[in-house]
Structure 1
Amino acid sequence: MASSKPFLGLLLSVACLLQVLLAAANPPPPSCDKSDEELRFMFSQWMAKYSKHYSCPQEQEKRFQVWKDNTNFIGAYRSQTVPSSGVGGFAPQTITTSSVGINRFGDLTVSEFVDQFTGANNTAFKTPPPSPLSPHSWQPCCVDWRSSGAVTGVKNQGPCSSCWAFSAAAAIEGLHKIKTGELVSLSEQVMLDCDTGSNGCNGGHSDSAFNLVASRGGITSEEKYPYTGVKGSCDVGKLLFDHSASLSGFSAVPPNDERQLALAVARQPVTVYIDASTREFMFYKGGLYRGPCSPSTVNHAVTIVGYCEGFGGDKYWIAKNSWSNDWGDQGYVYLAKDVWWPQGTCGLATSPFYPTA
């Protein structure tokens, strides 16, 4: 009988080769191949970059462990990204999913992040009936209000759940630029201080903010009423009389209808509510974001400032966020458009609003 040793040797060689290939395809998270000393040095650099200071050594150690866990997640997420197979003869591209990266939220757990940096309450406040736009209305294939100069720079709400005010201000800024040709950075703080339909840094409603501005006839500028990141006393004089942009009301886009949302965005920036309660969204760095997220439970307000097709032919919405330009793609997130579920990616179609002149 012929010896089976050569055959067994071949099998072992193949098995070893497969292990090498699998290890190359799935490299360990960054902290797995770095010493504790190296990781602590990296953490100290991250602290310096974001001016982080902790009350005591115990708190710093706690935050280091959270940061290390988040870097492990980021390393594992990157290792799972696979190139697309290419479409229509074009070369494959690794853009079929979003990328993640460490940012200013690195020392927070997901629950801490959600508590401090989201804050949208999508319970309607004096919301008018939805106003459908004609399906035969003009609609370009791509819209980007940034290229028209109708979008101010990305702002930073800080650890105050005031995204609702930032989303509303961005939509009003866009409308004012389209209507008058003048781009003015408007005051989120006046909404934070004066909107009794919202709860300041404990969350609020973008539609309530629109209602406040419309009922007073306009809104003052950020220069005249700067953002502090805490709810203060309402400056009634600036609320009532010192206006840099006017507003007559606001309209609701028919819910769960991305076609109607696109018709509205083709005319002006629109506020939407989304679910931002995942670590993938927390550390989003760029690319097309499809999830994970909930389409039915939303907690964060952003402003849709455009849409188009790209990323290998995929459709996307351009959403302006309020977590500074260090987060995401220079402060923006590209959300998958025209998905098969009616609420849209992360629930963006559940309750959109836009201001009216």
Structure 2
Amino acid sequence: MAETKQALLMGIVLCIAIAMAQGIPFTEKDLATEATTWKLYEKWRGVHTVTADLAEKKTKYEVFKKNAKYVLDFNSNKGKPYKLGLNRFADMTLEEFKKKYTGAVKPAVDAVKKAKIVKSKVAAGNVPSSYDWRDYGAVTHVKDQGPCGSCWDFAGTAAVESINAIVTGNLLTLSEQQVLDCSGAGNCEEGGTTPGVFEYAMDTGITLACNYPPYEAMDDQCRLDTSTMNPLVNIDGYAAVAGNNEKALKQQVYLQPVTVYIEASHDFMLYTEGVFTGDDCGTLLDHAVVVVGYGVTQEGVRYWIVKNSWSDNWGENGYIRMIRDVDVKEGICGIAMYPFYPIKNSPCAAIDIAATKRVAAKDEL
């Protein structure tokens, strides 16, 4: 009996997880009247944590209704290679969504100049047609930035996690909250840049997530204590891939995950599955993500494998496949405009500050 209850509970949890990721299933009948649409909205609210304020609830309902109609119309078009759904953002306008869940700021000219473009160590002809760093233990689980403009933090930290794993063979989960609190690279309200994260990782290092207070989705005072919060993962520098060049981006992604800037559009917000072609996005860059690989569908459609920071309940378990090798030089949603990646040459996994201090103290004696 106990095993049956446990199995039932796990089934319910799985169903909720699927509903959160792919959106609440619905048909044209659910939008036929105000009563049926409201019922659908209440069903959606039962899955997602949302406001309890009655006045705001009514306003949110109107947004939800508009988004639901858009999703239904979009998915009825059989020619689209991707699908949309009533996910956790379905009661948000695009403007509200961007304010809370993006946050990338175009890198300053100085940062772009400092990130020298380094010619790839691998020839284009030696790069396989498909590659996924998740298959090689170099990508941590998908995280959730929450309602904070800290995508730059999550993308930059993810890239540091990956290059550290590639060089050392040890995949460590690092603290985005430390970077948010201490780096000076950005904040929740005004956003930030991935080069800023790399600068901080060079100068100070990033500690393990378990060593620092948990992520709060808000700015806080820096609480880094180098005497206890060890180890600190450092990098040796950072570089840029040649801008507006998907071929060069592919060559670098074969060597390591690369941070990129994109424009998060309405379709991107409601994406659930498939190869995203970004019909409604351009190059107004406002979101930072990480390209962790690339592939080709059975139909021959080439795509980027992109890790996002909106939890694994968005898109394809937290990822989105975005079409690559498109006609515009900037790439889909501007993905090829500002690619940056961290450099790590030392096989040392991290710097143990406390141990260094102990050795220095002995030397003084």
Answering whether residue 21 of structure 2 is matched by residue 37 of structure 1, we say no
Answering whether residue 170 of structure 2 is matched by residue 182 of structure 1, we say yes
- What is the correspondence of 1:24-173 to structure 2 with a 5 Å cutoff? 30=28, 33-55=31-53, 57-82=54-79, 97-124=81-108, 126=111, 127-133=114-120, 136=123, 138-173=126-161
Instruction: Quote the Cα distance in structure 2 between the aligned partners of 1:197 and 1:157.
Output: 16
**Contact preservation (8 Å) 2:277, 2:322:** yes
Q: Secondary structure at the match of 2:172?
A: coil
Structure 1 residues 240, 345: closer, same or farther in 2, change over 3 A? farther
Instruction: Quote the Cα distance in structure 1 between the aligned partners of 2:188 and 2:288.
Output: 14
1:140-167 CA-partner distances (Å, limit 9, x unpaired): 2211011111111111111101000110
* 1:273 Cα deviation from its structure 2 partner: 0.3
Q: Secondary structure at the match of 1:306?
A: strand
Q: Which has the larger radius of gyration?
A: 1
Instruction: Quote the Cα distance in structure 2 between the aligned partners of 1:247 and 1:274.
Output: 25
Structure 1 residues 157, 311: closer, same or farther in 2, change over 3 A? farther
- Structure 2 unaligned spans of 5+: 1-25, 345-365
**Contact preservation (8 Å) 2:207, 2:232:** yes
- Structure 1 unaligned spans of 5+: 1-27, 83-95
Q: 1:269 aligns with which of 257, 264, 268?
A: 257
Q: Give the aligned residue type for 2:51.
A: H
The aligned counterpart of 2:237 is: 249
Task: Tell me which stretches of 4 or more aligned residues in structure 1 moved more than 4 Å.
Answer: 238-241
Q: 1:288 aligns with which of 229, 251, 275?
A: 275
- What is the correspondence of 1:321-336 to structure 2 with a 5 Å cutoff? 321-336=308-323
- What is the correspondence of 1:15-26 to structure 2 with a 5 Å cutoff? none
Instruction: Quote the Cα distance in structure 1 between the aligned partners of 2:28 and 2:328.
Output: 36
Q: Which shows bigger deviation, 124-133 or 65-74?
A: 124-133
Instruction: Quote the Cα distance in structure 2 between the aligned partners of 1:43 and 1:200.
Output: 29
Structure 1 residues 207, 346: closer, same or farther in 2, change over 3 A? same
1:81-122 CA-partner distances (Å, limit 9, x unpaired): 23xxxxxxxxxxxxx521101100011001111111111012
RMSD value over aligned CA atoms? 2.0
Q: Which shows bigger deviation, 97-106 or 127-136?
A: 127-136
Q: Give the aligned residue type for 1:313.
A: G
Q: Percent identity?
A: 35
Q: Secondary structure at the match of 1:287?
A: strand
Higher helix residue share: 2
TM-score computed with the length of structure 1 as normaliser: 0.83
**Contact preservation (8 Å) 1:219, 1:242:** no
The aligned counterpart of 2:10 is: none
1:277-298 CA-partner distances (Å, limit 9, x unpaired): x221111111111112444321
* 1:31 Cα deviation from its structure 2 partner: 6.3
Q: Which shows bigger deviation, 72-81 or 235-244?
A: 235-244
1:233-274 CA-partner distances (Å, limit 9, x unpaired): 012424996334221111111111111111110011100000
